[in-house]
Each structure stands twice: as C-alpha cells, then as structure tokens.
Structure 1
Amino acid sequence: MYPDRVVSGMRPTGALHLGHYHGALKNWVKLQSELPCLFFVADWHALTTHYDDPSVIETSTWEMVIDWLAAGVDPAQSTLFIQSRVPEHAELHLLLSMATPLGWLERVPTYKDQQEKLADRDLATYGFLGYPLLQAADVLIYRASQVPVGEDQVPHIEIMREIARRFNHLYGKEKGFEEKALAATKKLGSKRARLYLELRTQFQEKGDDEALEQAKAMLDDAQNLSMIDRERLFGYLEGSRKLILTEPQAMLTEASRLPGLDGAKMSKSYGNAIALREDKESVTKKVKTMPTDPQRVRRSDPGDPDKCPVWQFHQVYSSAEVKEWAAKGCRSAGIGCLECKQPVIDAILQEQQPMLERAQPYLDDPSLVRAIVADGCEKARKLAQETMRDVREAMGLGY
C-alpha cells in the first residue's frame, strides 16, 4: 500500500565504537542504496534511562551524526534527523497509549532485563515502561515496511505490529467501507477486478498467503488508483477495515562479531571499546595491551587461539592467509603475541582512515552537520504530518 521504507534509530549516550559500526552502521550504508531510509537520533529515548542527567545528550547527538557520516551514511541517499525535532512522534505516542493494554508493555522481555541490568538507576517511571510504545510510534509514523534489528529486538517489532493491527481494527471503520471498496475495484478494469476478488476469497476462506501477496502486487502495479482507493482495497483484502498504519517487518541483521578488547561485549561503559574515530596512537596502544591466552606466559609457551580475544579480532579483520599464519604461529610459539597483534592494528587503522577523512569537513565546519539534520528533519516531518492527518481523522480528531 505504502512504498517500502526503512526506519532505524540510535540513542545518543556517548561516542560510537567499532562494535556499532560492525553491528549496525555497515548495514545502514548497504541499505541506503537499496531502499529509502530514515535514520534518527533517538534523543527522547536517551531520557528513558538518563532523565536525571541529560547533559550528555546534546554533545553526543552531534558527535553521533558525524560518526554516521564518517561511517559512510550518505545524506543524499538517506534522511538523517533528530527525533525530538519531529514532535509528531510524541503525538502519535500519546494517541497510541490511549488504546495500548498495559500488559503488552509489561511483557516486553527487555523491560525486566534492563531493570535488572541497570539496577543502580531508578527506572520505575512511565517513560521507561512506555519506551516500546514510543519506539512503535517512531516506526509507525513513517509507515515503515522494514526495521533492521538484531534478534534480541524482534519482540519490539512484534509489539509494533500488534499495536498497528489493533489501531487499524479500532479506527479503520469507515462508513460504507465495503461499498466504497467494491466501487474502487471497478477502477481496476473488469478482468483485474475479477482476479482481485477471487484472490481475496482464496485468502479469506483458505488463508492462502500466496493469493494475498499476488493481490497486493497487483494493487501496487495499478496506476489509476487514488491513494485512498488503494488503501481501501488493501484493507478489504484482509478484512473490512481501512489500513491506516502499516505493520512493519523485522529485517534481521547479523550481530556484531567484534567483541571488546577483553573478549566481552564491546561497550564504552566496560572500558573495552575502540571509538570509531580514535587516533592512531591510542588504537595501537589499546591493541598492544590487549589480554591474550593466559596460558601463554612466556614467548616460548605455545598458545590456543580460541582462548585469546585477539583471535576474535583476526576473525573480523584478517584474510584467510593471515588467520592461518596467526593460528599456526600461536600454537607452535613461532610468533609472539605482539607480532600476532600487528596485522589487527594495521587493519583497524586502514578501516578507520576513510572514516577520519569523511569526518574532517564536518569537524572543520559544524554548520554542515546542522544543515544536513535541518533538511532531514523537514523531510521526516512532512511524512509524519501525512500520517498524523490520517490518524487524527480516524480517531475523530480531524475537526
């Protein structure tokens, strides 16, 4: 019904590191050349856990956008914006909250997980309970078809789908809907109208998903339908409701295979991260002082690559030949740990070089970043306003 669109966001809680690049940004760079993408700084989301100390948010926001640009996210191909600059997100969040059962939010797995992990923070707030609903508003407001997420975030997409479905069920009741939908089928031409109705029956009576997809593809190709007729016919396919919000699909992304310097998950708060734009001396020092296989006390002791965090970096950064050289040299004590680390240092610096170069113009002239974001906010807001016009009308607030 609506064009395919990707939406994704990140919370501005500190400098981005190489784990972010391998886990998300690399994927964003690939996606932007395949589909229309909207990437946003989730500054309101940062407040769900940092509401008592928001001082980090402003600096982190601009630094993070520079990190995105450095990683290769292209403002000519993607829309980059800041969540709080599009107030319609908050309006949709409020309106969705009127009809979202409390139990749905309490069941989201990360709700209890995060409370346990961040036990030092007071998270007994509505904002924290309601953040999956704000997340849903962030995506549903752009009628996004795809959301790139790791496996742990799939329950969040599921709740978005349930919220969209419930909204369409409650508010997609249009007076004389069936008559209007049947009148719209006539605009397809008699042959395609007959096929559309046959496919609808196949789906509704037999649950034939293939028939549903075929009918949707036919509607996508129909040139002479207005947006409202197309919307009615999509809704009529699946039931007797107008589809106002799109149910997004989870686009599963590979988890970052890059661990922290100590072998645990890379995180700034664990002190085991390499920043996306870290200087050469610092990167070299960090990798040189990385822990290795604890059994390898002396240079002459053979080691086991599987017990060494450096080996996990080789898995991400090294060619098959270098990996073979490192594994063989480690097991036979033919090479020392510092020798083994050198190709990793070289590969990280080589990866970061173009990032540093891309970031420089924005560091020299911060107004360039402000302009990109202002432009992105304007584009995002136009799309958000279109959705909110339909939402208000459906909820009886269009007067």
Structure 2
Amino acid sequence: MYPDRVVSGMRPTGSMHLGHYHGALKNWIKMQSEQPCLFFVADWHALTTHYDDPSIIEKSTWDMLVDWLAAGIDPTQATLFIQSKIPEHAELHLLLSMATPLGWLERVPTYKDQIENLANRDLQTYGFLGYPLLQAADVLIYRASEVPVGDDQVPHVEMMREIARRFNHLYGKEKGFEEKAQDAVKKLGSKRAKLYNELRTAYQQEGDDAALEQAKAMLDDAQNLSMIDRERLFGYLEGARKLILVEPQAKLTEASRLPGLDGRKMSKSYGNAIALREDKDAVTKKIRTMPTDPARVRRTDPGEPERCPVWQFHVVYSDGPTQEWVQKGCKSAGIGCIECKQPVIDAIVKEQEPMHERAQPYLDDPSLVRAIVADGNEAARKLAQETMRDVREAMGLSYG
C-alpha cells in the first residue's frame, strides 16, 4: 500500500566526529542508493536536553548538514530536512499523545539511562519523557518501512510499532474491512488460507506471539497478493482494521565501534573526539598524544595491543597485514608507539581528504546548503501533509 522508505535523524548538539561517521553516516550513505531515504536534523529533540541553552542549536544544525554532505550524503538521492520546519510532526505527536499509555514512555530503557547519566541536567520535564513519542511521530508521519538503528535503539522502534498498531486499532475503520480481508484470505490458496486462519485464531485468542510471527512470515512470502490485500491481512491478523500508520521495522546497522582517543566512547563532551572535518595537523597531534598500553613505559617494554586504545583504531582503519605488524611489533617491543600510530594517522587523513573537498563549496557559499534544505523541507512536508489528512479523517477532525 505504501512504498518502502527509510527515515532517520540526528540531534544537532555539537560537531560531528568520526564516531558518528562510522556509527551511522556510513550506513546512511550506503542506504541512500538502495531505497528512498529521508534524513532530518532533529532540532526539537535537541531541546529535550538543551532547553535551558538553545544557543548552540542553530549553528550546530548548519554545521551538521555540511558534515553530512561532506561525508557523502547525496541530496539528489536522499531528502534532507529540518524537523521544526515540518509542523505536522508536532501535530501528530500531540494526537498520538492522547492515546499513548504513560507506562509505555516510562519503560523505554534509554529514558532511565539518560536520567542517570545526565544527572547534572534537570530532565524532569514533559518534553524529555515524551521524546520517544515525538521520535515515533517523526517516523510514522512518513510511513517509513525501515529505521536504521543500533541495538540500543531497538526498543524505540518496537514502541513505534506498538503506537502505530494501537492507532490503527482505535481509528482504522475501513468500510467493509472484514469482508475485504476474508476475500484476501481466499487469494492465499486453500492450504495457506487454512493455516492463516489457524494462526490468526491462535494469536487473537491465546496471545501466541510465535503464531503471529509465523503468519507474518507467510504473508511476506506470498507472491500473488497486492500491496493493499497484504496490508489488510496484516491488520486482520492482529485484530486491527484499516492501516493508517505503517509499523516500521528496525534495520539493524553494522556500526564500527570507534572509541574516543582515551578508549571511552567518542564524545565532544569528553574531549576525546576527532571531528569529521578535522585539520590534518590536529589529527596528527591528537593521535600522536593518544595514551597507549600502560605497561609500555619504555620503548623496550613489550605491550599488549588489546589494552591500548590505538589498537581499536587499527581494527577500524588498518588492513590485515598492518594489524599483524602491530600485534607482533607491540608484543615483542619491535616497534615503538609513535611508529604504531603512523598508519592510523595516514588512514584518517586519507579518509578525510575527500570530506574537506566536498565541504568546501558549501563553506564558500552557505546558500547552497540552505537551498538543498529548502527543497528537502518542501518534499518532506508534502508527505507529512498526506499522512495528516488521513490521520485527521480517521480521528474525526477533518471537518470545516
């Protein structure tokens, strides 16, 4: 019924660094050539933790967009836009909040984690509690089929699916839905139709989740169904009716774990990051002054690469022979730490050269970035308005 579409966003809370590139941007660059992608600056989300000092948000927004373009995001392949320029996100967030149980928000794992980890900030706000719901609205408004995430964000996507399911169940009143769904069941063929009905009963009467997954897998494999019949059968399976909001799938992305210069998570606030468009001399200085295996006090002391933060950079940046050279040379004290660091410096500088080149036109003429975003905002808003027309109609708000 709706085309495949990928949606993802990032909060503009500071400069992009190599951790962002290896953790998310490389995946975005790969996906943009495979299916339609919408990538947005989540500036409202930045306010959930920076509401008391929003001064960094505007500059960070434009810097981040230049970083995306420098990294290889292609505006001819992907739609780039700013969240706050699409007011429909806020409207859908408000309407979804009317029917979202409070307990769903309180149980999101990252909510508790951030309350603990950001103890220096006052996060006892409605906005912070509700950010997973705004996140759901960001995705559901584009009827996204996939959301690229790491393991820690899977619960957020699961909640998006629950919210979409609940909305469709409450408001999906397609005329004659039951009859249309039963007609679609017949199109499966007698054997599959019988199995579908058995699995539907097992799920709806006994809450058998395995039956639900089996039935969904069967529908995914069914070649002879139209998209709308497939969507009806998904809805009929779960007791829903018309599909207004699409349940997105979590697309687990491979992220190279690039730690910070001190071995902790790379973060600007820890002062251990290499910016995406770092100056060559700064890269050299930062890598050369990285801490190494504490056992290597003198050049002649053997070391253990696994205890050294520099080794984690070799895992991401160096080929097999170089890694072997590091392992042997470090353990035998055959190479010094400065020697060991040089291939990492060379690899990062080489990786960043095309980024500096791609960024330069946008730094010379900032209106180019604004034009790209203006086009992206317009394209995203059209899609958002289509969804909101259906949402308002379903909720009885399309009068006047």
- Structure 1 residue 205: Cα displacement: 3.6
Q: Which residue of 2 aligns with 1:144?
A: 144
- Structure 1 residue 109: Cα displacement: 1.2
Matched, 1:314 2:314: yes
SS at match of 1:257: coil
- Structure 1 residue 192: Cα displacement: 6.5
Structure 1 unaligned regions, length at least 5? none
Using the aligned pairs only, state the percent identity.
77
Report the Cα distance in structure 1 between the residues aligned to 2:195 and 2:173, rounded to whole angstroms: 22
Amino acid of the residue matched to residue 144 of structure 1?
A
Matched, 1:201 2:227: no
Report the Cα distance in structure 2 between the residues aligned to 1:346 and 1:388, rounded to whole angstroms: 50
Report the Cα distance in structure 2 between the residues aligned to 1:205 and 1:64, rounded to whole angstroms: 50
Residues 173/22 of structure 1: CA separation in 2 closer, same or farther (3 Å cut) = same
- Structure 1 residue 211: Cα displacement: 5.0
- Structure 1 residue 212: Cα displacement: 4.0
Contact 2:216 2:234 in 1 (8 A): no
SS at match of 1:7: strand
Residues 94/175 of structure 1: CA separation in 2 closer, same or farther (3 Å cut) = same
Q: Which residue of 1 aligns with 2:68?
A: 68
* TM-score, with structure 1 as normaliser: 0.92
Amino acid of the residue matched to residue 276 of structure 2?
L
Q: Which residue of 2 aligns with 1:290?
A: 290
Most deviating of 132-141 and 292-301: 292-301
- Structure 1 residue 178: Cα displacement: 2.3
- Structure 1 residue 236: Cα displacement: 3.5
Report the Cα distance in structure 2 between the residues aligned to 1:8 and 1:354, rounded to whole angstroms: 24
Q: Which residue of 2 aligns with 1:388?
A: 388
Contact 1:32 1:78 in 2 (8 A): yes
Amino acid of the residue matched to residue 244 of structure 2?
I
- Structure 1 residue 325: Cα displacement: 1.2
Most deviating of 231-240 and 57-66: 231-240
Q: Which residue of 1 aligns with 2:357?
A: 357
Q: Deviations over 1:44-73 (max 9, x none)?
A: 000000001111000100110111111111
Contact 1:305 1:311 in 2 (8 A): yes
Q: Deviations over 1:161-217 (max 9, x none)?
A: 1111111111113444324556x75xx9x9668788556425424537555445456
Report the Cα distance in structure 2 between the residues aligned to 1:195 and 1:334, rounded to whole angstroms: 69
Amino acid of the residue matched to residue 201 of structure 1?
N
SS at match of 1:386: helix
Amino acid of the residue matched to residue 367 of structure 2?
S
Q: Deviations over 1:108-146 (max 9, x none)?
A: 111121111111111111000000000000011111111
* TM-score, with structure 2 as normaliser: 0.92
SS at match of 2:8: strand
Contact 2:219 2:230 in 1 (8 A): no
Where do residues 173-252 of structure 1 align in structure 2 (5 Å cutoff)? 173-179=173-179, 181=181, 185=184, 200-205=196-201, 207=211, 209=213, 211-215=215-219, 222=226, 232=232, 234-236=234-236, 238-239=238-239, 241-252=241-252
Q: Which residue of 2 aligns with 1:156?
A: 156
- Structure 1 residue 4: Cα displacement: 1.5
SS at match of 1:310: helix
Amino acid of the residue matched to residue 50 of structure 1?
H
Where do residues 99-178 of structure 1 align in structure 2 (5 Å cutoff)? 99-178=99-178
Residues 243/120 of structure 1: CA separation in 2 closer, same or farther (3 Å cut) = same
Matched, 1:303 2:303: yes
Contact 1:202 1:208 in 2 (8 A): no
Report the Cα distance in structure 2 between the residues aligned to 1:251 and 1:46, rounded to whole angstroms: 23
Residues 208/99 of structure 1: CA separation in 2 closer, same or farther (3 Å cut) = closer
SS at match of 2:398: coil
Contact 1:216 1:234 in 2 (8 A): no
Report the Cα distance in structure 2 between the residues aligned to 1:168 and 1:396, rounded to whole angstroms: 14
- Structure 1 residue 281: Cα displacement: 0.6
Residues 144/326 of structure 1: CA separation in 2 closer, same or farther (3 Å cut) = same
How many pairs were matched up? Answer: 391
Matched, 1:79 2:96: no
Contact 1:199 1:215 in 2 (8 A): no
Amino acid of the residue matched to residue 52 of structure 1?
D
Residues 143/195 of structure 1: CA separation in 2 closer, same or farther (3 Å cut) = farther
Contact 1:199 1:212 in 2 (8 A): no
Contact 1:203 1:209 in 2 (8 A): no
Contact 1:202 1:211 in 2 (8 A): no
Contact 1:261 1:272 in 2 (8 A): yes
Report the Cα distance in structure 2 between the residues aligned to 1:221 and 1:69, rounded to whole angstroms: 40
Contact 1:5 1:36 in 2 (8 A): yes
